[in-house]
A and B are shown apart, each in its own frame.
Chain A
Amino acid sequence: GAGVSQTPSNKVTEKGKYVELRCDPISGHTALYWYRQSLGQGPEFLIYFQGTGAADDSGLPNDRFFAVRPEGSVSTLKIQRTERGDSAVYLCASSPDGFGANVLTFGAGSRLTVL
């Protein structure tokens, strides 16, 4: 597509529930990134995919968070047993390749609220 698409744009859930957030990157972009942004903070790196594989998942806060990109295009961020502290905007970005030289294009984000 023309840009990075994220769905849903807003998600409200209850503590303890399971949530999936979807990212559809720019067509042909091999690198895909997930970030989390809390109010008043800069985006915090979660995970980076090069193709189908997670090249760097060092930012995932704990084992409740998991992400997949099975066909090297669409990615899903999965959060189990959600906690109120998980409330944030989850941003996805893509770039033509993962080398540091390229500009990342960000989606509008998925706002997650855990009650």
Chain B
Amino acid sequence: KQEVTQIPAALSVPEGENLVLNCSFTDSAIYNLQWFRQDPGKGLTSLLLIQSSQREQTSGRLNASLDKSSGRSTLYIAASQPGDSATYLCAVGTGTALIFGKGTTLSVSS
């Protein structure tokens, strides 16, 4: 059974810092991996999608990497801003469903 773990559970940083969020998964047979953002009381917004054949994807200040063989992904956020404060969720695609981690709650202070 696929299990997804995210570390740390919570993170507080001052504005301007670069930071890394970690995601690990137990079964390397995945179709893709996605990173989502969730604001309090809101739905999920997809940030980046990495196909199983890819190593990384970039969008603006965000860069996500994927190492299938070791079962790991990282989300790198450059020059963090208070507006980046949210919960970040990692999810692996099994072919019929996404399996989510519990998320990392990020707080960026000005």
**Contact check: which of A40, A41, A45, A107 meets B97 at CB < 8 Å?**
A45
How many A-B pairs have beta carbons closer than 8 Å: the answer is: 62
**Contact check: which of B46, B49, B97 meets A33 at CB < 8 Å?**
B97
Which A residues are CB-close (under 8 A) to B89? 42-43
Label chain B's interface by main secondary structure: strand
Give a binary string over B74-94; 1 marks a CB under 8 Å from any A CB, 0 the rest.
Answer: 000000000000000101011
* Contact status A55-B100, CB under 8 Å: no
The interface stretch among A14-22, A61-69, A74-82, A97-105 is A97-105
* Contact status A100-B44, CB under 8 Å: no
Give a binary string over A69-110; 1 marks a CB under 8 Å from any B CB, 0 the rest.
Answer: 000000000000000000000010100001111011111110
Complex Cα gap A66–B46 (Å): 27
Give a binary string over A44-65; 1 marks a CB under 8 Å from any B CB, 0 the rest.
Answer: 1100100000011001000000
* Contact status B100-A101, CB under 8 Å: no
Complex Cα gap A40–B6 (Å): 13
* Contact status A100-B31, CB under 8 Å: yes
Complex Cα gap A44–B26 (Å): 17
Distance (whole angstroms) from the CB of B57 to the closest CB of chain A: 12
Distance (whole angstroms) from the CB of B85 to the closest CB of chain A: 17
Q: Which residues on A are within 8 Å of B, measured CB to CB?
A: 4, 33, 35, 40-45, 48, 55-56, 59, 91, 93, 98-101, 103-109
